[in-house]
Structures are given as structure tokens and as C-alpha cells.
Structure 1
């Protein structure tokens, strides 16, 4: 078998072996794996219609295309595998309860409150923990995500339960999915007067996909029109059958506002946990878990709300979460009190990161700060390469001219109060569909107030800055005014989505449609040394206007298009228009006119977009 050639370039020949490459790998990385010259791979891709430099990050499908040409099976390593290989290189085991059976101790259940927006999830949590956070949420809608631990009693024994609150607005899909994965039991809140709604179904799907037991809290039973029986009947369609109907799902009718049956709900959670789950973890190992939320605090720096899943997190531990590293300088519980250690299932706020972790990032404690920094740096480089490969515009030779044409583009910089909100807003904005004419690009996103650096970046890239629950800092407002940078502030996510969608639609080039004005039949032909060929016409429909666009029809076929009514006369007078039933003389700047031809006039009108 000869070595394959593409465009005259001889390629190394594979035997179908598998080549593993990280996301965003370059042609140089690929060439090293197969012992080839990177320049030859650049040349090959050029002949295949892709223009890439040897060191640029390349999209997964391009690597796979190149591999298939050379008889290699290119396998792009998933982010999870990349991370596992990275941690293996540091001899770190993640996601395992290290130790023997006797090392495992009972831990509290982690419960996620899920459901549709406005069905009372946050009110329920307020009632459970006897504090009021809902009033501080804009519009009464949870914009962020939080975790709290409460104490209850079952059979005379004091028990702890950890609660995670997830937003119900449709834009927060990723947060709900994350909440379901980090949890032991999902409590689906359904309003008795509203029934099953779109985000209720989505929450059920997330919980079932994560394979966690579900407890249903039928809320607002004190409201007029409440029908708990209807809710039970609706939920049978989604595989949630109440125990009283012979199923295995516990339903509890509650009123979060009045505090009705809250104890029964907590009891149902504990009974479900005891009956279906083995909730044990090893507290005597380096802590591991998940960052539920993170934000930048003006006085304290990056602050992350983390949920310890195994091990014990202590003040002074070296910690890494995603591409953020640091040392635990201080830990706070949900009441703002200092704690020195956090056992499994305990949510705490951690202060000491050097940058803001992403919501949903896994965290682990390592032996020393140096290892934490190295892991974070490698993850950051890997993510940057993957992002560059994804962001790179694929340009083939066939559509090069189209790519070079100017496209309408709206550049955005998103800053928010916490990483989950920023992520949700970016995801929602990227889903806005206004066709291929307009492109939306998020050139930077971050947590914290809007800085002069953000304004300078916006100036350089003609971007609009969106502030979600944050404001411009210091001289940033003055700089933005001076440079003409627009900063828009939002506190409710759907307002941001609506305004950006309207802005994108405003950038669309207007669409025009042809509207017929009138038709005239040529009855006689006159020749003039001054005007050329003149058609003597009878207007048979509509109106003929001077300077209107026109086409000439002969036997119902278009003879000439893109003409215009150059001159228009009625008897001896120049006129601007002639209506149906009247005769006129006209010239089209076109000499091949014949009796019986039809002149059709029309105009292009802007069509309102849907």
C-alpha cells in the first residue's frame, strides 16, 4: 500500500491506529504523534479547503478529516478524560472514597429544590431556614444559586439536610442540570393552582437523567383554585406516581407562605434518603467536591460556595477548582459565621482563591500550593486552546469570497455578580436566532464590576458592555462616556435577552419585496430624434409612474428587466403618473419595442420582519 498523496504532498501512512489528541490541538501536536512534518499537514489541509497555520488550535472535525485521509483514527479526548489524565500525572485520585468500609461515615442528604419559575421554590427555602432572601431577588426570581444546611428531627434524632436552590427561569438550564448532578434527592416544587409547566418538566428530566430519587412538593395549597389532585394526575405522565396511587414517589401538599406541612416534607426527604440511598462518605481524606457558585467580592476577593462531597475541607488547605487555585484562608457557613472545617455534604463559602472558579467546577485539595497552581495553569491553557479552536472561523476555498464580505456583528462583554449568572446569560444570548446575516460574539465575560480594562476592550472591539447585577467601577463610567462605549445594566435576565434580541434584529439588513404598480399595453410605436423610441400605451391596470422600475413582457415572457420609465407624457404634457384607462407615451431607454408588448412597473418596498 502506497503512502497517500493529497495535492501532490506525500503523507505518512497509518494502519488504522488510534491517535488521541486533546481539544484544540495544533497540527504540530498531530505531526509529533505520527512523526510527520507539520508543514506538509498545513499543505494537505490547504488542498482540502482549510487554511490553518502549524501552531493554531484546530477544530475537532478538521483533525478527524485529516486523520481519515492518512488512515489514522483520530480520537479527540473528552474534557473529563483530559482532566483524569492530568490528575493521574500528579498521582491524584478524584471521585473516589479512598479507604476501607470502616472509614465511611453517614453524611446528610444533599437536596436540590427545582421547579418552574414563580412556583415558590425560594419561598419554601426561606420558610425552611427561617430567613428571607427572596425579597432581595429582583422580581422575586432567583438569579443566582445558593446552598444551605438545616437541622430537623426524625424519630427523636436530630438530622441535617443540605439544600441547593436552583433558578426556575428557562435561561438557567445549565444550572438546573448541574444541581441535579450534585445532589442526592430532587424536590420538585409544583404550584397547586398552576400545575405542571415547561421548567417543571425540564427539572424532572434533569433529575431522572441524573438518576436521583424525586420528592414532589405541591405548593400553594392555600391559594384559590388550588387542585393538588390534578397535579398528581399530571405528573403520572412523567413517571411520578404518588404512593397513595400505588406508586413509589412521595407527594407532600404544602404552603410555603403559611408554613403548612413543612415538617412532613423534611420527613419525606429523610425517609426517601434512608429507603433508597446509601449516604456515606470518608471524612478522613483530602476534600473533594463541587463549586456551586462563585463571585468576586470587593472586599474579600474571589468567593466560592463549595459543596464538600468527600473528605474534610479545612482552613489552610491548598485547593484547586477548575482553573482557579488558592489556599483556604477563611470559610463561612450559610449564616456568615466562621467555620474551621467542613465535613461531607457541608456547603461553605471559601475565601482564598486567586481567581473566580466557574460554577460547576470540581474542586480538590492537594498537598501544596505549587501543585494546585500547576493543575490550574494546565487546565487554563487547555481551555484556551479548545476555545480558540471553537472560535476560529472555518474558511474553505469555495466560500472564501463570502467570508471576506462584511457581516453584521454585535460584540458583547458580559460582567456579572457570579459565574453561574454570567454563564446562563451568555448561553441564553447565544441561542437567539436571527439567521446568518447577523453574528453575536461574546468577546469577554467575567465576574465582578465593570472596570476600565473592560471599557478599553469594548473601545478596541466596538463592543457593548452588559452588567448583570454589577456596576461600572471608579473611572470606568467616565472613560465609557468619553469613548462613547455603551454600558447597559440589568437585574433580571429576560430583560437582557429581549433587548439584545431587538438590537440584533435592528442590525439585520432590510428585506424588500416587489410590489406591482401597474401595467400598460403598447398600442403604437413612435420614433423621435429627441426621445428615441416612444411607446404609445394604454394603462390597463394600476398606475404608471415616472422613474418607476419596469420590465418589458412579450407573449408573457420577460424580454428586458431592470428598466425604468425615463419619460412619461400625456398628450403634450410631461406628467408624473398616468392611471388605469388613460393613454400615455413613455420611453424606457430601450429601443426594441413592439406593438402588443406589455410594460409592467413595480417598486421595492421594505418588508417588516417577523
Structure 2
């Protein structure tokens, strides 16, 4: 990572090196020895943003001083003569007291410099027409006028770059002294269903696959394991091609990649993509040839295919380590881990745990009870509970921190993944985080970044849906397809955005105008209406207000449980091939008020029907905090002790979901049916 010297940054910011060193220590907690020391460009960018924010505040003080000047100039000719006489007397006095200040100074600092009570200084400012409290900043012009009131000359500090440049001292990097060995960060990559999560499962001796829909990893995860007394951090990235962006992010923050290739399948398109990401990030690759216990497994065939991608196996005269393994029988796992540790040892991975923390957001989501929850990977420094951090365009103070096993911890050093609470909003997956001095500094930088992001919204006269998209493209009404993406976690939002935008062609450009975590809300429908957009939900559902608004305004909402179904539908709509035979019709919604566990039956839910009607044997889905947690059908429906066919809106009922007992109070049960529709002639 490139670095910049203190004196070069000071010159760029037009401030003295000494002032910059003080700023680094006071506001950002970064200690540097002298002007020849170097800091990383990420820290430099943070300082630039902070300085720009300070200059904007200075501009506001300029306006205040301008008001003062206007008022002062209108007080008459006699005052002007008196001022000129006073200025002459001040210049004539050799023993006159002078103070030097920067471009801005707080009222308290100014009163300390001139040796006057702060109350007296504030009083004079009020007479000048400037309302400022003890901790407010005043600009140089205001300070100069204020100095005249106390017979003090106020001068601006000269920026003596030449004097600073001659203070040559032998540079000794602060980081070099404090560098310590850190655990390697390993990313597991490969094609879908080649056994990446199963391999991690064998290493961690726990079952991750059970939490994933259809056995396909949908979200990125980070886990720390201890092997032979050494810690290793693993990142598990999804294998489907739609998650290219998530895989790319994994490659950029990792030290070593374990490329999983099935011995009975060979290199597939997603495997080739993973290889490209690793090469672009210049990351060492260790190939795990998985499923060697399967009939038809051919290790040599896989090695031959690797050569086509310039990955020559070590036993064939190359440099790439290839280990045959079986996640099921655990054969070769220990050898694989030994090779990973050996590769890490060759890299001499080090970090400085004594500096302010910084790293990357692995995953982020909105939790109903805990607010914004983010999984962070600390890459340098140590993060503590209570630290203030800036994450992309959001900020916060770390209220609580948990390790990958859910245990509360107080601090996390380099290469350790943690889940934190306390952020103001849900950050973007892949955002960089930095620890700063306090929450005020973090908030100022976050607000500045936010202002840069707020800009778009396209207006169009024709409402668009996937069903009529092709016709509107043919008629020339649609040149751009605007899409709003909502999903259960940020990583899925990112993946959908990337994949949908890649569908753009010569006739129509696909633009994702908004992507966020959580249920589809009325605000999303309003945005879709204003932007002539369609809404795509992944693992989330619209709330009642959003559904009503969408029906009223004819805004198209499509929801999916598998990400590539969404991509295929949009692609088919653009080609004019989307002609659905069935349409989902929502019958009603019921809120679970109480649950009862009956040993012979399972969990029974006491519900109140809030919309439509509940129909026995209808298809049903359980929605928790806007996210679909299970899909099945209504196994039973009762009013008091009687079985009934349906229960209307406004009535209470008891129901059970087929093959699902993890019902909780506050969940929403939505029942629906599939209605056959006649094919449209395009």
C-alpha cells in the first residue's frame, strides 16, 4: 500500500508540518516522529476530508465577520478616523504585544493567548455583532478586529516550509518498530457446489450449510480457527457467478486463497473467475482438489486444466501447491492446513496492533432488536469497545463486540473478524472502516461523504413492469431500466446490483438506482414511482403499506428466493420472452400474537388476521422483520376449537405451518395461491 510523507501532505494541505503532526495525534490518534515520517494514503484521505470540513466551518465564520464589517463600516466617518488613529498608534509602539494564530482559533484559545478572561472576549465579540460561545471558532479577520479592542496585534503564522525541510533526521517508521506477526487471512473460493463450505465445515467441525437455502452459500462469513497453536482467519465466499463482486472483495482483503476444485467436475466458469480475481489481487493460491472419494474423481485431469490458466502444480515443476482432499472423509485436510501455514510463513505477515484500528466490512445487516450490525475484519491496529469509527458514509461508537462464535469480547487485533453494534446506519459490504478520536470527528466526515452520494432520480412518464418491458423497449419508451434492489443482507444487494447492471445492451441500459437492506417499504414504492423503476426483493417481502401503495400506483414488485432467478427474469423480459403462465395472488396476512407448543402436533400460533383472509391448505410463508424465513403451506386452521376453511380480516384464529415449528410472536404469516393467466402476445 502506498504511503505519503508528512511534509508532502502538509504542503498539499497548505499547513505547517508541525500543525499536521498535532492534528494527527489529537484527532486521529496517529503518532509520528517528524515531518519525514510517512503515513498510508487511506489515513491521508481521512485528514483531507477533515480539513475540508474545517474550511467549510471557517467559511461560515467569514460570513459572520462580514456582518461585523458591514456594521462597523456604517458607524460613521468619526469611527473610521478613530480606527485609523488607533492603528497608527499600534504600529508605532515597538513594545506592542502581538500574537500569532492559524486561519481559525477558538474563543477560549484566543483568550488564553492574549491573557484576558473569556467572558470579556465574548462580550467584545457581541459588541462586534458576532455571536460566539467559548468553544466556537472565529476566523483570522474576526480575531484581528478583536485584537484591536485589546490593543493587541494579531498576525497570521507564516508557513516556513524551508525551515521544516532542513530539519533532516534519519527516518524510522513508527510501524517498523511495533510490527508483530499476525494471523493469515484465508479466502475459500471456487465454483458453486464444489464443496467450499463443506471444506470449511470439516476444518471448523461445525455445520454451516444447514443455515443456507438449498445448500448454496448466499452470504459471506468470517471465522477464526486455531491450528497447531496458530490462529487462521477464514473467509467463506459464495460460489455462484452472481456473487462475483463479493468474491472480488474477498480476494482484495485476503493473504492466501484456497481454490476449491471438485475432482469429478474440474474447472468451471466460476472457478475461472476466482482465478482471475486472485491474479488481479496478486494473492498466492493453494488449490484444494476436493471430492477425491467420489467415483470418477480424476486429480491429474484437474491439474492439467490448471495449467491452461498458468497455474502449474508444484509436483509438475511449477509453484502452485495442489492438495487432494475430501471434506467428507477429512482426508488431506491436515496436509492442506500445513501448506497454508507454510505459505503464510513465507509471506512474513505483520501488522501494528498498537495503532488505531482499520479494516473492512465483511457483512452488514439491520437487526430489529440490535439495530445496525456489521461484521468487520480488523486489518491493522486494535479495535476496542467504546472506540469511535467512520465506516464509508456512516459512523458510530462500538457499543458491543462479538467474536465469530457469538461470545462478547472487549478488543480485537489484526486479522480478527468481529461483529459490532453501535453504527448509525447499515454500512455497505466492502466499506473501509477507520478508528478516529471521537464521535464528533466521525460524524463530520460521514456527513460530508453522504452529501456527495445524494444526487439521482430520473423521471419518466411511462410506468414499467417486467411483463411490458419488451413492448416499451420496442416502442422506444424505455431507454433505461431503473431497478430498486432490496435484500436481507448487504452482500446480496451488492451482488444483485452488479449482475443486473451487467445485463445492459445497446437498446436498454440497466441502472440500479437504489439498493438497501430490509423489507420493501412505502418509501421504496414512492421512489420507484418517481423514477419509473421496478422493485426486486431478494429474501424480503413488502410490508402492508408498500403493497397497498404499489397496487394503487401500479408499481411492479418482484420477489425472489434464489438470486439467479431474478437475473434470468430480467434478462428474459429484456428479450421479450417473459410470459408467465402463473401469477402469485396474496390472499391475506395474519400477525402471530401467541404461540403454544403441543407435543403431539408441534407449535400452534394464535393469530389475528390483519389483511384479507387465511385459507386452510393455502401456500404460506413466514415473514420475520420483513425477511422470508420459511415457505410451506397452512397445515391447520381453527376458530376456537373448530376446524374452519377460512378466517376473514379482523378475526382471531389458530394455525400451524407444515414442517415448521420455529414460529415466534410478531411473525407475519402470508398465505397465497398461484393463479393461472393467459399468455400475452408480444
What TM-score, normalized by structure 2, do the two folds share? 0.56
Counterpart of 1:587 in structure 2 is none
Q: Please state whether the residue corresponding to 2:541 is helix, strand or coil.
A: coil
Question: How far 1:423 moved relative to its partner?
Answer: 1.4
Structure 2's unaligned 5+ residue stretches are 1-39, 53-171, 461-472, 579-680
Q: Please state whether the residue corresponding to 1:407 is helix, strand or coil.
A: coil
- Farther off after superposition, 239-248 or 358-367: 239-248
Candidates 299, 314, 318, aligned match of 1:228: 299
Alpha-carbon displacement from aligned partner over 1:98-119 (angstroms, at most 9, x marks no partner):
7243311111000000111111
Question: How far 1:460 moved relative to its partner?
Answer: 4.0
**Larger Rg over CA atoms:** 1
Candidates 344, 347, 352, aligned match of 2:414: 344
Counterpart of 2:141 in structure 1 is none
| Cα distance in 2, alignment partners of residues 102 and 84 from structure 1 | 21
Candidates 164, 167, 175, aligned match of 2:235: 164
| Cα distance in 2, alignment partners of residues 424 and 98 from structure 1 | 39
1:454 matched to 2:493? no
Counterpart of 2:200 in structure 1 is 125
Counterpart of 2:277 in structure 1 is 206
Alpha-carbon displacement from aligned partner over 1:538-590 (angstroms, at most 9, x marks no partner):
xxxxxxxxxxxxxxxxxxxxxxxxxxxxxxxxxxxxxxxxxxxxxxxxxxxxx
Alpha-carbon displacement from aligned partner over 1:279-318 (angstroms, at most 9, x marks no partner):
1111111101111121222222211111001100111110
Candidates 468, 476, 485, aligned match of 1:414: 485
Counterpart of 2:617 in structure 1 is none
Equivalent runs, 1:296-311 vs 2, <5 Å: 296-311=366-381
Equivalent runs, 1:204-283 vs 2, <5 Å: 204-275=275-346, 277-283=347-353
Structure 1 contact 297–448 (Cα < 8 Å) conserved: no
Structure 2 contact 459–531 (Cα < 8 Å) conserved: no
| Cα distance in 1, alignment partners of residues 511 and 350 from structure 2 | 45
Structure 1 contact 98–282 (Cα < 8 Å) conserved: no
| Cα distance in 2, alignment partners of residues 85 and 336 from structure 1 | 34
Question: How far 1:439 moved relative to its partner?
Answer: 4.3
Question: How far 1:189 moved relative to its partner?
Answer: 0.5
| Cα distance in 2, alignment partners of residues 343 and 83 from structure 1 | 18
| Cα distance in 2, alignment partners of residues 188 and 406 from structure 1 | 46
Candidates 240, 245, 257, aligned match of 1:186: 257
| Cα distance in 2, alignment partners of residues 421 and 208 from structure 1 | 24
| Cα distance in 2, alignment partners of residues 115 and 174 from structure 1 | 14
What TM-score, normalized by structure 1, do the two folds share? 0.63
Question: How far 1:405 moved relative to its partner?
Answer: 7.0
Alpha-carbon displacement from aligned partner over 1:70-107 (angstroms, at most 9, x marks no partner):
xxxxxxxxxx9899444335389xxxx97243311111
Question: How far 1:452 moved relative to its partner?
Answer: 2.2
Counterpart of 1:383 in structure 2 is 453
Structure 1 contact 98–285 (Cα < 8 Å) conserved: no
| Cα distance in 1, alignment partners of residues 43 and 533 from structure 2 | 34
Alpha-carbon displacement from aligned partner over 1:387-406 (angstroms, at most 9, x marks no partner):
68xx899xxxxxxxx9x974
Alpha-carbon displacement from aligned partner over 1:448-494 (angstroms, at most 9, x marks no partner):
11122222333444432211122223543344345443322212111
| Cα distance in 1, alignment partners of residues 368 and 351 from structure 2 | 35
- Name the CA shift for 1:446/1:98 in 2 (closer, same or farther; >3 Å): farther
| Cα distance in 1, alignment partners of residues 258 and 204 from structure 2 | 16
Counterpart of 1:75 in structure 2 is none
| Cα distance in 1, alignment partners of residues 553 and 570 from structure 2 | 21
Alpha-carbon displacement from aligned partner over 1:221-258 (angstroms, at most 9, x marks no partner):
01111001111121122232222222222211111122
| Cα distance in 1, alignment partners of residues 413 and 555 from structure 2 | 47
Question: How far 1:442 moved relative to its partner?
Answer: 2.6
| Cα distance in 2, alignment partners of residues 278 and 88 from structure 1 | 32
Counterpart of 1:88 in structure 2 is 48
Counterpart of 1:542 in structure 2 is none
Counterpart of 2:128 in structure 1 is none
Structure 1 contact 407–439 (Cα < 8 Å) conserved: no
Counterpart of 2:435 in structure 1 is 365
Cα-Cα RMSD: 2.9
| Cα distance in 2, alignment partners of residues 254 and 422 from structure 1 | 33
Question: How far 1:131 moved relative to its partner?
Answer: 1.9
Structure 1's unaligned 5+ residue stretches are 1-79, 394-401, 509-607
Structure 1 contact 116–169 (Cα < 8 Å) conserved: yes
Q: Please state whether the residue corresponding to 2:223 is helix, strand or coil.
A: strand
Question: How far 1:170 moved relative to its partner?
Answer: 1.3
1:285 matched to 2:355? yes
1:147 matched to 2:222? yes
Structure 2 contact 353–381 (Cα < 8 Å) conserved: yes
Question: How far 1:214 moved relative to its partner?
Answer: 1.0
| Cα distance in 1, alignment partners of residues 453 and 567 from structure 2 | 26
| Cα distance in 1, alignment partners of residues 377 and 296 from structure 2 | 39
1:106 matched to 2:181? yes
Q: Please state whether the residue corresponding to 2:389 is helix, strand or coil.
A: strand
| Cα distance in 1, alignment partners of residues 439 and 522 from structure 2 | 31
Equivalent residues, number: 409
| Cα distance in 2, alignment partners of residues 328 and 491 from structure 1 | 33
Structure 1 contact 291–305 (Cα < 8 Å) conserved: yes
Question: How far 1:340 moved relative to its partner?
Answer: 1.1
Question: How far 1:362 moved relative to its partner?
Answer: 0.7
Structure 1 contact 412–443 (Cα < 8 Å) conserved: yes
Q: Please state whether the residue corresponding to 1:238 is helix, strand or coil.
A: coil
| Cα distance in 2, alignment partners of residues 408 and 89 from structure 1 | 37
| Cα distance in 2, alignment partners of residues 435 and 101 from structure 1 | 53
Q: Please state whether the residue corresponding to 2:576 is helix, strand or coil.
A: helix
Alpha-carbon displacement from aligned partner over 1:366-415 (angstroms, at most 9, x marks no partner):
00111111111222223346x68xx899xxxxxxxx9x974365432210
| Cα distance in 2, alignment partners of residues 413 and 257 from structure 1 | 41
Determine which structure has greater relative contact order: mean sequence separation of CA pairs < 8 Å that are 6+ residues apart, divided by chain length.
1
Q: Please state whether the residue corresponding to 1:119 is helix, strand or coil.
A: coil
